[in-house]
Amino acid sequence: MKIQHYQLNNEPIPKPISEFVKYKLPLLLYAPVSYTLSLIHRLRSTKHEFRHKVSLCLIFKDEEPYLKEWIDYHILIGVDHFYLYNNNSSDRFMEVLSPYIAQGKVTLIDFPEKYAQVKAYRHCYETFHTETEWLGYIDADEYINLIKYDSLKDLLDKYKNFPSVYLNWRMFGTSGHLKENPDEFTIERYTQAWANLSSTGKGFINNNFPSHSVSVHFHTSRLFSFPILGVLANKSPYRSTHFVSSLGVDKVAYINHYWSRSLEFYRFKDFIKGDSTSAQNKKARKGEGRFEKHELRNICKDFSIQRWLIFLK
């Protein structure tokens, strides 16, 4: 195994001045315009009535062992409904989902297209945005970790004046596990994580705002043909992942990204299962040193999400 060496400390990764000038400065200059547009929209708009307060959209393939924990956990923290897109699964996912469908908690959509993630996300927005006030897009290996709040609804209420909010990933590794263990929850088994938040994450759309541009990681609204920017957890504006700094662990909320789970699962997802986003992503998954790059940065323990563990059992 070829081992590459990476910066392994607890300090924010330094950003060069050129990156600030290229990305951050234009964003900061545009921020007052974006905030003004948000205010104008809020003053002009009428209150919508939604069936659900908070919903999640997920595209999945062969995630049967993890779906129940993922759904139950997010119900615990306040998610009302799930729009689940089945992308050519061959496992027994229906045995897991049938009770939730019967309860009205899950809307299941068959979506067999190749590299379908962005298409599914856009289909979900176009089809269901009038049903739910907040629509979040995350994967089955991503868990929203509330640090300051006990309810996702309470968290999102703090961002009601913005068109979207972006939560950074905190990356988790194998925690030394070679194989999966069906008797342990993901949030119980994997605790070793990066010291800093990732510069990437996932977003929630506020459907009180109009005309969202939907992508995998970030979403932008528009008013009078001008973009209204979403915000990070600290309410600073963002436009894309280029505008997000790798800061220390956030005190409000972030997304636990169980990127590899065990070594066994990592090999399955990257070399057998394939990628739902693009052919380019599929090729990148097989890049030399990819696993080592992520695993060697897992130098901290994070048990914060386990405060919910007893309620899952």
**CA separation for the pair 160, 219 (Å, rounded):** 15
Q: How far is residue 225 CA from its own chain's centroid?
A: 27
Residue 172: its pLDDT value, please? 97
Task: Write the pLDDT tens digit of every residue in 236-271.
Answer: 887 655 444 455 566 799 999 999 999 999 999 888
Q: Which residue has the higher pLDDT, 51 or 9?
A: 51
Mean pLDDT value of segment 20-47:
72
* Mean pLDDT (the chain, rounded): 85
Q: Can you give the pTM of this predicted structure?
A: 0.87
Q: How far is residue 204 CA from its own chain's centroid?
A: 8
Residue 309: its pLDDT value, please? 98
Residue 199: its pLDDT value, please? 79
Q: DSSP per residue over 217-242, as a string?
A: S-EEEEETTEEE-EEETTS-EESSGG
Q: What are the structural domains of the chain?
A: 17-312 (3.90.550)
Burial code (b: 16+ CB inside 10 Å, e: under 16) for 201-230 equals bbbbbbbbbeebebbbebbbbbbeeebbbb
